[in-house]
């Protein structure tokens, strides 16, 4: 394992641990986060896929005209509202550590998520124990990206939504067998009409 990957996994574990403390009032979400701690290889698999998608997003921003046509629409929509570099997990951790709680987009994203992502507790599925935690992880990262770029609630919501759709589209196309996709695909199917036609086709039950 490379040192870069080790750093990504270490940063992810710190975020997971912080989330478990912040979401302690949500028993199912806490159980989901605890499951990831107890099943480290499962957590690592998901984080490696997560990091790969962030890397691909940043690469796509540099050459939008060369982006895979299957997810070009979603990436282009994100680029319209947030074409800045998206921090990796270690970069996000460093940024969060070096800023006060008030000024840290990372910490604000965590605490806002505590108020707004209670749905994850209701969505807990014992057959998919990582689902709630990874749903929060993805939505929370989208909120973090948005808070770095705007203070306007409407714009924050727009950036967060665009980030999640672009992330999910890339994950579906480039990591179709990933455990992370298995966690969130049900939500993607429910929101299929929000995606471009190529992604909608991939989300159909008959799609390979």
Percent of the chain with pLDDT over 90: 70
DSSP letter, residue 85: P
Residue 75 · residue 170 · CB < 8 Å: yes
**CA-to-CA distance for 148 and 156, rounded, in angstroms?**
9
Q: Give the per-residue pLDDT at 100.
A: 53
Q: Where are the alpha helices (DSSP H) in 23-152?
A: 27-38, 40-62, 72-81, 89-97, 105-116, 119-122, 131-149
- What does the pLDDT average to over 197-205? 95
**CA-to-CA distance for 36 and 43, rounded, in angstroms?**
5
**CA-to-CA distance for 146 and 20, rounded, in angstroms?**
22
Residue 157 — very low, low, confident or very high, per pLDDT cuts 50/70/90? very high
Contacts of 71 (CB under 8 A, 6+ apart): 166, 169, 170, 172, 173, 196, 198, 199
Residue 99 — very low, low, confident or very high, per pLDDT cuts 50/70/90? low
Instruction: Report whether pLDDT(208) > 70.
Output: no
Each residue's pLDDT tens digit, 13-29: 999 998 898 888 888 88
Residue 30 · residue 23 · CB < 8 Å: yes
**CA-to-CA distance for 97 and 84, rounded, in angstroms?**
21
Q: Give the per-residue pLDDT at 102.
A: 53
Count the neighbouring beta carbons within 10 Å of the beta carbon of residue 125: 13
Instruction: Report whether pLDDT(43) > 70.
Output: yes
Instruction: Report whether pLDDT(122) > 80.
Output: no
Classify residue 141 as exposed, middle or buried by CB count within 10 Å of its CB (0-12, 13-18, 19+).
buried
Instruction: Report whether pLDDT(38) > 50.
Output: yes
Total-model pTM: 0.92
Would you kindly state where each structural domain of the chain is located, as residue ranges?
3-98+105-203
**CA-to-CA distance for 208 and 191, rounded, in angstroms?**
19
Residue 207 — very low, low, confident or very high, per pLDDT cuts 50/70/90? very low
Each residue's pLDDT tens digit, 102-118: 557 777 777 777 667 66
**CA-to-CA distance for 98 and 106, rounded, in angstroms?**
11
Instruction: Report whether pLDDT(1) > 90.
Output: no
Tell me what the pLDDT averaged over the chain comes to.
90
């Amino acid at each position: 394992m490379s040192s870069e990957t080790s750093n990504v996994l270490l940063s992810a574990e710190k975020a997971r641990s912080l989330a478990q403390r912040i979401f302690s009032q949500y028993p199912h979400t806490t159980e989901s986060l605890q499951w990831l701690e107890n099943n480290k290889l499962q957590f690592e698999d998901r984080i490696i896929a997560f990091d790969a998608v962030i890397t691909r997003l940043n690469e796509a921003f540099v050459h939008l005209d060369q982006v895979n046509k299957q997810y070009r629409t979603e990436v282009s929509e994100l680029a319209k509202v947030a074409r800045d570099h998206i921090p990796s997990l270690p970069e996000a951790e460093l940024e969060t550590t070096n800023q006060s709680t008030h000024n840290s987009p990372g910490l604000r994203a965590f605490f806002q998520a505590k108020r707004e992502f209670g749905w994850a507790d209701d969505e807990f599925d014992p057959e998919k124990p990582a689902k709630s935690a990874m749903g929060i992880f993805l939505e929370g990262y989208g909120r973090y990206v948005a808070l770095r770029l705007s203070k306007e609630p409407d714009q924050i919501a727009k950036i967060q939504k665009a980030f999640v759709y672009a992330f999910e589209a890339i994950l579906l196309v480039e990591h179709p067998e990933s455990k992370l996709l298995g966690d969130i695909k049900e939500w993607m199917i429910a929101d299929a009409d929000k995606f471009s036609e190529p992604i909608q086709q991939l989300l159909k039950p008959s799609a390979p």
